[in-house]
Amino acid sequence: MREYEKADRIEGPLVFFEGYGDAAYGELVEVHFDGGVRLGQILLTGERLAVVELWGDSAGLKPSDLRVRFLGEPMRLGVSTEMLGRIFDGLGRPKDGLPPPLAEARMDVHGAPLNPSVRAYPQDLIQTGISAIDGMNTLVRGQKLPIFSGSGLPHNELAAQIALQARIAGEGESFAVIFAALGVSHDTATFFQERFAASGLLSRTALFLNLADDAPMERLVTPRIALTLAEFLAFERNFHVLVLLTDMTNYAEALRELSTRRGEVPGRKGYPGYLYTDLASMYERCGRVQERAGSLTQIPVLTMPGDDITHPVPDLSGYITEGQIVLSRELNRAGVYPPVDVLPSLSRLMKDGIGGDRTRSDHPAVAAQLYASYARVQEVRALAVIIGETALSETDRAYLDFGQRFERELISQQVDEFRSVDETLDLAWQVLSRLPAGELTRLSEDEVKRFYLGRLDHGGRYG
Amino acid sequence: MKPIGTIIEVNGPVVEARIREGVGLLEQVWVGEMRLAGEVIALKHDEATLQVYEETSGLRAGEPLFGSGELLSLTLGPGLIGSVFDGVQRRLEVIKTEQGIYIQRGATTEALPERGWRFSPSVEPGCHLHSGALLGVVSETPLIEHRILVPPSISGTLIDLVEEGEYQLNDRIALVRAEDGQEHVLGLTHRWPVRQERPHSGRLEPGPPLVTGQRILDTFFPLSKGGTAALPGPFGAGKTVLQHALVKWSNAEVIVYVGCGERGNEMANVLEELPELTDPWSGRPLMERTILVANTSNMPVAAREASIYTGITLAEYYRDQGYHVALMADSTSRWAEALREIAGRLEEMPAEEGYPAYLPSRLAAFYERAGRVRTLAGEEGAITIIGAVSPPGGDFTEPVTQHTQRFTRAFWALDRSLAGARHYPAINWQTSYSFYSEVVAPWWQQETQNDWLALRAEAASILEQDARLQQLVRLVGAEALPDRQRWVLEVARLLKEGFLQQNALHLIDAYCVPERQVYLLKLFVRLFELGRELLEAGIPLLRVRQALDLPRLLRLKEAVSNEQSAEIGTLQLELEARFKALEPTGEEG
Ligand SMILES: Nc1ncnc2c1ncn2[C@@H]1O[C@H](COP(=O)(O)OP(=O)(O)OP(=O)(O)O)[C@@H](O)[C@H]1O
Ligand SMILES: [Mg+2]
ipTM for this prediction: 0.93
| Phi, psi of A18, rounded to the nearest 5 degrees | -85, 140
* pLDDT of A349 strictly over 80: yes
The mean per-residue pLDDT over the stretch B322-327 comes to: 98
pLDDT exceeding 70 applies to what percent of chain A? 98
Q: How far is CA A442 from CA A386, B496, B508, B553, in A?
A: 29, 13, 14, 12
Question: What does pLDDT average to over chain B?
Answer: 93
> What's the gap in Å between B344 CA and the centre of ligand 1?
32
- Give the pLDDT confidence score for residue A455 in this predicted structure: 40
Amino acid present at B477:
G
Domain boundaries, chain A: 2-70, 76-352, 363-455
pLDDT exceeding 90 applies to what percent of chain B? 82
| Residue B106 confidence class, pLDDT cut points 50, 70, 90 | confident
CB A199 within 8 A of CB A80: no
Q: Which residues contact B322 (CB under 8 A, 6 or more apart)?
A: B147, B375, B377, B379, B380, B381
Amino acid present at A381:
R
CB B389 within 8 A of CB B333: yes
**A319 and B CB contact within 8 Å:** yes
Helix (H, G, I), strand (E, B) or coil at B186: strand
Question: What does pLDDT average to over chain A?
Answer: 92
C-alpha to C-alpha distance for A273 and B127, rounded to whole angstroms: 56
Q: Tens digits of per-residue pLDDT, B492-511?
A: 999 999 999 999 999 899 99
Q: Tens digits of per-residue pLDDT, B358-389?
A: 999 999 999 999 999 999 999 999 999 999 99
Please identify, in words, the CATH class of the domain defined by A76-352.
Answer: alpha beta
Distance from CA of B337 to the nearest CA of A (A): 7
**A113 and B CB contact within 8 Å:** yes
- Give the pLDDT confidence score for residue B67 in this predicted structure: 92
Smallest Cβ distance to A463: which of B60, B473, B546? Answer: B546
Residues of chain B contacting residue A392, judged by C-beta atoms under 8 Å apart: 477, 479
- Give the pLDDT confidence score for residue A261 in this predicted structure: 85
**A250 and B CB contact within 8 Å:** no
Binning chain A into helix, strand and coil, the percentages to the nearest 5 are 40, 25, 35
CATH no. for A2-70: 2.40.30.20
* pLDDT of B211 strictly over 50: yes
Interface test with B, best of A235, A319, A346 (most B CBs within 10 A): A319
Q: Tens digits of per-residue pLDDT, A179-208?
A: 999 999 999 999 999 999 999 999 999 999
Interface test with A, best of B46, B263, B509 (most A CBs within 10 A): B263
Query: Would you tell me which CATH number, out of the four given (3.40.50.10540, 2.40.30.20, 3.40.50.2000, 1.10.3720.10), belongs to the domain B3-71?
Result: 2.40.30.20
Q: Tens digits of per-residue pLDDT, A259-303?
A: 998 888 888 899 998 999 999 999 999 999 999 999 999 999 999
Closest CA to A57 of A213, A184, A215, A182: A215
- Of A418-432, B340-354, B438-452, least confident by mean pLDDT is B340-354
Smallest Cβ distance to B265: which of A49, A287, A371? Answer: A287
Distance from CA of B7 to the nearest CA of A (A): 8
- Give the pLDDT confidence score for residue B20 in this predicted structure: 87
| Phi, psi of B149, rounded to the nearest 5 degrees | -110, 155
Domain boundaries, chain B: 3-71, 114-188, 202-434, 449-580
Residues of chain A contacting residue B399, judged by C-beta atoms under 8 Å apart: none
* pLDDT of B300 strictly over 50: yes
C-alpha to C-alpha distance for B310 and B86, rounded to whole angstroms: 9
* Residue minimizing CA distance to atom 16 of ligand 1: B238
* pLDDT of A456 strictly over 50: no
Query: Would you tell me which CATH number, out of the four given (3.40.47.10, 3.40.50.300, 1.10.3720.10, 3.30.450.20), belongs to the domain B202-434?
Result: 3.40.50.300
C-alpha to C-alpha distance for B331 and B239, rounded to whole angstroms: 9
* pLDDT of A1 strictly over 80: no
The mean per-residue pLDDT over the stretch A415-421 comes to: 95
C-alpha to C-alpha distance for B424 and B214, rounded to whole angstroms: 11
| Residue B101 confidence class, pLDDT cut points 50, 70, 90 | very high
Size of interface A-B (CB pairs under 8 A): 232
Q: Tens digits of per-residue pLDDT, A301-335?
A: 999 999 999 999 999 999 999 999 999 999 999 99
pLDDT exceeding 90 applies to what percent of chain A? 83
Q: Tens digits of per-residue pLDDT, B475-493?
A: 998 889 999 999 999 999 9
Ligand number, closest to the Cα atom of A323:
1
- What angle is formed at CA B57 by the lines to CA B52 and CA B61, rounded to 5 degrees? 80
Ligand number, closest to the Cα atom of B502:
1
| Residue A338 confidence class, pLDDT cut points 50, 70, 90 | very high
Interface test with B, best of A73, A277, A295 (most B CBs within 10 A): A277
Q: Which residues contact B471 (CB under 8 A, 6 or more apart)?
A: none
C-alpha to C-alpha distance for A105 and A368, rounded to whole angstroms: 46
CB A328 within 8 A of CB A151: no
* pLDDT of A453 strictly over 80: no
Amino acid present at B345:
R
Question: Which own/partner pairs from A412-416 qualify as long-range (CB within 8 Å, at least 24 positions apart)?
Answer: A412/A336, A412/A337, A413/A130, A413/A131, A413/A337, A413/A338, A414/A337, A415/A157, A415/A161, A415/A337, A416/A161, A416/A164
* pLDDT of B64 strictly over 90: yes
- Give the pLDDT confidence score for residue B2 in this predicted structure: 83
Q: Do A76-352 and A2-70 have the same topology in CATH? A: no
- Give the pLDDT confidence score for residue A28 in this predicted structure: 94
* pLDDT of A53 strictly over 50: yes
DSSP-assigned letters across all residues of A183-197: EE-HHHHHHHHHHHH
Q: Which of B424, B500, B511, B557 to probe ligand 1 with, by most ligand atoms within 8 A of CB?
A: B424
Question: Which CATH fold would you assign to the domain B114-188?
Answer: OB fold (Dihydrolipoamide Acetyltransferase, E2P) (2.40.50)
Between B346 and B318, name the one with better pLDDT: B318
Residue B504 Cα: closest atom of ligand 1: 3
Q: At what angle do helices B452-476 and B514-536 cross, to 10 degrees?
A: 60
* pLDDT of A155 strictly over 90: yes
> What's the gap in Å between A219 CA and the centre of ligand 2?
28
Q: Tens digits of per-residue pLDDT, B390-405?
A: 999 999 999 999 999 9
| Residue B585 confidence class, pLDDT cut points 50, 70, 90 | low
The mean per-residue pLDDT over the stretch B428-456 comes to: 95
CATH no. for B449-580: 1.10.1140.10
- Give the pLDDT confidence score for residue A425 in this predicted structure: 95
| Residue A35 confidence class, pLDDT cut points 50, 70, 90 | confident
**A438 and B CB contact within 8 Å:** yes
Smallest Cβ distance to A368: which of B272, B422, B545? Answer: B422
Q: Tens digits of per-residue pLDDT, A220-257?
A: 999 999 999 999 999 999 999 999 999 999 999 999 99
Q: Tens digits of per-residue pLDDT, B117-154?
A: 999 999 999 999 999 999 999 999 998 999 999 999 99
DSSP-assigned letters across all residues of B237-292: SSHHHHHHHHHHH---SEEEEEEES--HHHHHHHHHHTTTSB-TTT-SBGGGGEEE
